[in-house]
Structure 1
């Protein structure tokens, strides 16, 4: 079935000409365009523009539209300024096999000349639509996930993302609540085949997305819950492997299949207005800088009113965010660990220093014989070569720096097509070409008219030379790295690195070269980005405050402590520890039966730390520390045992950082809400921290958690916030289900 989409008047001005590139941006980049844009994915299309796709949502509610757009599309010339560009399906064109299910979490790829947009059905299945251009017309390809494959993956069958490996093999990752699986796809990437393998599991784990870098496969995922307004604990985390089938491990070597929470946090709430930061995509700007594409929830405006005459309630607003993605010590992290941005930030590089598209012809180019400009629906204007001899098309302007990132979209009908950079003349330049006769990526360096040696990297069997492919070359110093991919989404099918003679590593023009019938588009170069190599400093606790601390060296609980619903049975102090059996009692929303051991907290900012020995063996046993205002307003850092939803009875050891308080922005307001974030790996002996800060400007309480398994290396979790009201106390608890014993070695409070 073919589905055709007529664009609205909002699309009347397609961006085709040069656009002034912003130098700064502010999140959300979708502000003023759409109200929400959950689960975003993005691609740099062959027309030189960026396109983003999101989950079915009420994107125009503030404009009076009481309904949803089905997989909405945004378009931008610079990654910062966006416009609405339509939707993949309309209610009239939505395929019947969907059975009315809402469509979630699209993933966009460019495969052999066609845009592949996969998506999830809320009912639990994966669909595919293809198109010759990023806004359609879309052709329904039906169900991608056979029942036999579903049966081998015990998960929610949503949140899919495709990945193509260096051998050209296609893979699909998917899963939600609480397992992520991977399986191979068929040769044309239209259907999942074979047996699924579980590669990750964890409480509310979902949103997988894989990128290959420096020999590793990085699995990005989110956990803890996407969609409860200001109580959304979503964070993006990562694991890496040396195979697309894993095993994936976090930055402490914990296998993502282990029954514990994991570290390697890429982005989480940092105390500004953004929370629920998750479900990420990936982009690279023209300088080579990577960017995380994700959604967040503003604590200032987190919730929609009921939508569609009450058909959808408690729906969160999740606009589109982008932030710089750094790779530090082999691990991805947003803004060197600073977290989601608020306020003006340096914008992505979205215009070339030299080169460009061919939408306005060959103006600004020096063309040898055989080149002309043609047009087509997707690429718009492009340069085409006809002839047998080698012919160059180079920019009249030179790149400003010798350290450059150059790129070209190339396709070959017969012969070879290449990207040339550091071009001085025909006798002095660097070239990376797709050679159809040799079935390879070939690089060469010419100095004084003499080759300094070709390097040949085979392209995958079945590589479609007649389809557009991106060739990207980064020259940093004398090191040249070249990648070939369909879409520059972190899944190159060929990569080559070589050292150049110093005489060749110089600034020059950028261009295309062809031997035979070939095409080129989006040919240009920009100054290569400067990588960030150090994380922002981790705040360390200050001076110890003995009057707010306890080493439990005595034989009884000291006078500064007071009980809420106590004393709890079985509590004892001996051997330098406080021992507390878990209670069959709870401290959660309307059920407040558990005991809390409480003492005063100091004025100003502080950090509370405990060393906890705890080995829960049944679901829902938990123990830890609290910053407690009352039964309905607190922050909790616990070692918890939580059953997996789809774990065949498996219980996960969880670093659970939760908050409880009012949620007034829902319709009707929720008097008491509770939600978790998940921290680093749990262990029988672990260290827990809660750090308190009063944000005076917003009269807000901010609390950050951190966990450690050795007392030295800490995983810093996100930040929960609540409007400031009464003072908090420092508390301990051991609750939810009997049968385990918590031993607290100490409580230490530090001035921050």
Structure 2
């Protein structure tokens, strides 16, 4: 009853896929030319007990919050290269030059007798729900790996860059994430792929362009470890679609100590394993991250350790100081949220009363020529429409007292005033005075402004794109700033953008020129969130061991003592041992103490030289929260093959066995500071432990949260294990407890 009422009130309630599916993994969302929103996902059974995998399931929504199952995309005969029994994973759907193109991973081909000789398939359709026609050859064929088997050629994502060049990103842990240029039709590749994110760290790439940067979103850790899943999303950015992509600290995603700035990770509520994202923008201009996550109380679709139950979530994506954060860093939502502004676009199913005689409605869109004006809401506004412009013509939007047009004759996106701008109306202010623009006007653009017109800004249209097919133009007016963005079906960010200021503007909006118009929308512009949620307070120093003696101070005790660990020179020196705690072996040493009651923060300064670029598995050291050999969470600097990462791992008993997974956060250095921030949930009594890391002891990167049940015999301490060769010693300079 409550959920029904919340949906009636148009609130966003996660998981948004619950009306039609228990699991809807690796989701991506687009808006179709019919005005509906469409979501696509990996092939799994949709409901518990079904047992029948849907081959790329499709759902549809009028508002991004209420979804209905449509059908399977790939229900017809398989392409010739697809082996019997193959599955289809992680679709990415785009609208390219008048048709829909779907990229997807094929898990098994007839290239070899191996089960996982992955490839990237491609299919096309004239409508977002299909029918889809699989192309006879993969867009990226199986790639043999240098170490045997086939590279993980999965998780595709297309991008149309600012110059009109199309690229495809793909890949996973074995082989890394690569980018390859696509042919103009998007159905084949040109040249060789190049790696943009190091292997053994990231998968699930998704790239968008914003403010002149290309942002590479990617997911890390295990997607599918049931109740121990720590999947999460990080990002790097570059001025080029080919990279190098670097994080907020300037560390490359190709470095052995792999960079990446967190976007979303679990926060201690019901959701864990938040990852594999797409991005969608609502009609107000607000971005949303679409992704999957796992309910830690119901991690499997059916039997334990079978298909992971990964429903689709949708949450607000904020851009703070140039970097994206889900809900300003609050993470996945499990309470009602404000719904996206996703309805109200004019689809022209019939002629609206305000459409003048020189325009008519045909086949669900408006076609004609001239100027169409509508009253504008007060305050900041966003106007957008899908436009189709005949050769030699110009068509655009009116907002902020200016006209922004796709001028095919001039080959420009042009913002102008004058004769081509809307006529003045009673009560309207004078034509706007320009304050500043991000682009200078060209001679051809100036001519297109018309007699007496004035070009405010212009930028060239990519020569390879067909502007006789639908493209989306959005014009946002915030105060005296106007931003115009031209995209392919609202995806991947602008291929052309303009930014300029005006001092005053008439209170009218509309469209003007000659051509076809659909999905015309006028909405109040979203209000951006500009500050991240505050980090948990660390508080005052309550206790410390600075390791100034010859042994750990009072209160410490060992699980399986390690006589090689010594204290001297103000540090605990602990040679990394060959033992481990994962699984049932449990032969590693752990140094522990009892934490104080209530809330606290444990911190250590760790020096651990694991080298770079060489293969090591899995030497590590750091902090550990311990309730038993098979019930712990450890925040360690760790060597994983050729990478060096910070992993916040969790092992716990489940269904008569053990589950282990990890969250990754930050980037390690030779010396790394680590924190575990403990809070007790006042409603449940659960222990919530949030991870944080730093490379200077001052600026901290917040990571995800693992939980322990109320009443768990929780202790806190240090570990140094995972492999003794080559020899390396962990140096702990202190261990401190802070109280808020």
Q: TM-score, normalization: structure 1?
A: 0.88
The question of whether the paired residues in 2 share the 8 Å contact of 1:418 and 1:431 is answered with no
> Which residue of 2 is the match for residue 107 of structure 1?
92
> Which residue of 2 is the match for residue 483 of structure 1?
485
Measure the CA separation in 2 of the matches of 1:724 and 1:314.
28
TM-aligned CA deviation for residue 403 of structure 1: 1.6
Measure the CA separation in 2 of the matches of 1:164 and 1:149.
24
Aligned match for 2:46, one of 36, 51, 59: 59
Aligned match for 2:362, one of 374, 378, 386: 374
> Which residue of 1 is the match for residue 274 of structure 2?
277
Query: Is 2:520 aligned against 1:558?
Result: no
The question of whether the paired residues in 2 share the 8 Å contact of 1:287 and 1:529 is answered with yes
What pairs with 1:242-257 in structure 2 (closer than 5 Å)? Answer: 242-257=239-254
> Which residue of 2 is the match for residue 611 of structure 1?
605
Query: Is 2:378 aligned against 1:401?
Result: yes
> Which residue of 1 is the match for residue 316 of structure 2?
324
What pairs with 1:644-723 in structure 2 (closer than 5 Å)? Answer: 651-663=642-654, 669-723=655-709
CA displacement 1:352-397 (0-9 Å, x = unmatched): 4xx62201x222423142x21111xxxxx11112xxxx512344xx
Measure the CA separation in 1 of the matches of 2:146 and 2:586.
41
TM-aligned CA deviation for residue 417 of structure 1: 4.4
Q: SS state of the match for residue 45, structure 2?
A: coil
The question of whether the paired residues in 1 share the 8 Å contact of 2:397 and 2:475 is answered with no
Aligned match for 2:347, one of 334, 357, 366: 357
TM-aligned CA deviation for residue 326 of structure 1: 0.6
Measure the CA separation in 1 of the matches of 2:194 and 2:492.
22
> Which residue of 1 is the match for residue 3 of structure 2?
none
Change (3 A) 1:638 1:384: same
Aligned match for 2:297, one of 289, 300, 314: 300
Aligned match for 1:222, one of 219, 225, 247: 219
TM-aligned CA deviation for residue 273 of structure 1: 0.5
TM-aligned CA deviation for residue 147 of structure 1: 4.4
Measure the CA separation in 2 of the matches of 1:214 and 1:117.
27
CA displacement 1:445-468 (0-9 Å, x = unmatched): 247585333543221113312211
CA displacement 1:406-458 (0-9 Å, x = unmatched): 111111234434233348xxxxx422222222222222224758533354322
Q: SS state of the match for residue 81, structure 2?
A: helix
The question of whether the paired residues in 1 share the 8 Å contact of 2:78 and 2:134 is answered with no
Aligned match for 1:436, one of 408, 411, 421: 408
Aligned match for 1:158, one of 132, 154, 157: 154
> Which residue of 2 is the match for residue 289 of structure 1?
286
Q: SS state of the match for residue 189, structure 2?
A: coil
Q: SS state of the match for residue 545, structure 1?
A: strand
Gaps in structure 1 of 5+ consecutive residues: 1-19, 307-311, 376-380, 424-428, 644-650, 664-668
The question of whether the paired residues in 2 share the 8 Å contact of 1:202 and 1:223 is answered with no
Measure the CA separation in 2 of the matches of 1:43 and 1:146.
23
Measure the CA separation in 1 of the matches of 2:557 and 2:47.
52
Q: SS state of the match for residue 175, structure 1?
A: strand
> Which residue of 2 is the match for residue 594 of structure 1?
588
> Which residue of 1 is the match for residue 28 of structure 2?
41
> Which residue of 2 is the match for residue 347 of structure 1?
339
Q: SS state of the match for residue 727, structure 1?
A: coil
Query: Is 2:122 aligned against 1:133?
Result: no
Measure the CA separation in 1 of the matches of 2:237 and 2:356.
45
Number of residue pairs aligned between Structure 1 and Structure 2: 685
The question of whether the paired residues in 2 share the 8 Å contact of 1:410 and 1:417 is answered with no
TM-aligned CA deviation for residue 37 of structure 1: 0.7
Measure the CA separation in 2 of the matches of 1:578 and 1:313.
40
Change (3 A) 1:149 1:302: closer
What pairs with 1:511-522 in structure 2 (closer than 5 Å)? Answer: 511-515=510-514, 518-522=515-519
The question of whether the paired residues in 2 share the 8 Å contact of 1:202 and 1:261 is answered with no
Change (3 A) 1:699 1:316: farther
> Which residue of 1 is the match for residue 397 of structure 2?
420
Measure the CA separation in 2 of the matches of 1:524 and 1:317.
36
TM-aligned CA deviation for residue 202 of structure 1: 4.7
Measure the CA separation in 2 of the matches of 1:451 and 1:670.
76
The question of whether the paired residues in 2 share the 8 Å contact of 1:161 and 1:208 is answered with yes
> Which residue of 2 is the match for residue 584 of structure 1?
578
TM-aligned CA deviation for residue 197 of structure 1: 0.7
Gaps in structure 2 of 5+ consecutive residues: 1-6, 109-117, 425-430, 432-451
Measure the CA separation in 1 of the matches of 2:462 and 2:379.
31
The question of whether the paired residues in 1 share the 8 Å contact of 2:394 and 2:409 is answered with no
TM-aligned CA deviation for residue 313 of structure 1: 5.6
TM-aligned CA deviation for residue 151 of structure 1: 7.4
Q: SS state of the match for residue 227, structure 1?
A: coil
Measure the CA separation in 2 of the matches of 1:278 and 1:715.
18
Change (3 A) 1:494 1:726: closer
> Which residue of 2 is the match for residue 12 of structure 1?
none
Measure the CA separation in 2 of the matches of 1:201 and 1:523.
42
Q: SS state of the match for residue 579, structure 1?
A: strand
> Which residue of 2 is the match for residue 426 of structure 1?
none
Query: Is 2:705 aligned against 1:743?
Result: no
CA displacement 1:109-153 (0-9 Å, x = unmatched): 000010011100123110111111101121111333344977799
Measure the CA separation in 1 of the matches of 2:356 and 2:629.
75
Change (3 A) 1:393 1:150: farther
Aligned match for 2:139, one of 116, 139, 145: 145
Q: SS state of the match for residue 731, structure 1?
A: strand
Change (3 A) 1:563 1:456: closer
TM-aligned CA deviation for residue 670 of structure 1: 4.2
The question of whether the paired residues in 2 share the 8 Å contact of 1:583 and 1:735 is answered with yes
**Greater displacement, 410-419 / 531-540:** 410-419
Aligned match for 1:626, one of 624, 627, 633: 624
Q: SS state of the match for residue 541, structure 2?
A: coil
> Which residue of 1 is the match for residue 58 of structure 2?
73
Measure the CA separation in 2 of the matches of 1:251 and 1:267.
15
Aligned match for 1:470, one of 469, 472, 478: 472
The question of whether the paired residues in 2 share the 8 Å contact of 1:399 and 1:527 is answered with no
> Which residue of 1 is the match for residue 262 of structure 2?
265
Q: SS state of the match for residue 712, structure 1?
A: coil
TM-aligned CA deviation for residue 182 of structure 1: 0.5
Measure the CA separation in 1 of the matches of 2:9 and 2:342.
9
Compute the RMSD of aligned alpha carbons: 2.1
TM-aligned CA deviation for residue 84 of structure 1: 0.7
Measure the CA separation in 2 of the matches of 1:234 and 1:367.
53
Q: SS state of the match for residue 492, structure 2?
A: coil
**Greater displacement, 48-57 / 731-740:** 731-740
What pairs with 1:92-103 in structure 2 (closer than 5 Å)? Answer: 92-99=76-83, 100-103=85-88
Measure the CA separation in 2 of the matches of 1:735 and 1:313.
27
The question of whether the paired residues in 2 share the 8 Å contact of 1:563 and 1:595 is answered with yes
What pairs with 1:631-642 in structure 2 (closer than 5 Å)? Answer: 631-642=629-640
Measure the CA separation in 1 of the matches of 2:137 and 2:501.
46
Change (3 A) 1:724 1:532: same
> Which residue of 1 is the match for residue 327 of structure 2?
335
Aligned match for 1:452, one of 451, 454, 472: 454
> Which residue of 2 is the match for residue 168 of structure 1?
164
The question of whether the paired residues in 2 share the 8 Å contact of 1:283 and 1:290 is answered with yes
The question of whether the paired residues in 2 share the 8 Å contact of 1:21 and 1:351 is answered with no
> Which residue of 2 is the match for residue 8 of structure 1?
none
Change (3 A) 1:96 1:22: farther
